Amino acid sequence: MNKVLVINGPNLNLLGTREPEIYGKHTLANIESITLKLLKKNQILCTVEWFQSNSESEIVDKIQSLMGDNVDLLVINPGAYSHTSVAILDALKSISIAKIEVHLSHTLKREEFRHKKLTALGCDAVIEGLGPVGYFTAISSQEYKKKFTK
């Protein structure tokens, strides 16, 4: 794997201060650092680009920009848009690269409206409830998938 794009949706810029009892005390910058350190420690070589937006249209535009781009994996935490955004779902379905949805919390143990993830229908897998390690798990899963499916 060479290039990974990580998209983080609304309110994830507030990590560390927003509901730390649910999302933990790590900021988004901390999560990026943890992920990169774990990738290096496990000798998973790739370039990771991080993008965060509170705007649904900016997220859709970023996903659509991957058409024909040289990205091997999209990791997306659409935040609350996971439960509501047909636009992001349609954008995810429009690209043919590997896509993994990540959630910091275990959404099935939360409010009922969080149990349904529209955007997950456009992804190959969903990883949730692992906190910051979920991002590393998503990226590394593709590397190990290559090794074990040969």
* CA dihedral sign of residues 59, 101, 124, 51: positive
Cα separation of 50 and 82, whole Å? 18
Q: Are 16 and 60 in contact (CB under 8 A)?
A: no
Q: Are 23 and 114 in contact (CB under 8 A)?
A: no
**CB proximity list for 56: less than 8 A, separation 6 or greater:** 81, 85, 87, 88
Helices (H), strands (E): how many in the chain?
5, 5
Q: Map tokens 């993008």 to a residue.
A: 51
Active site residues: 23, 103
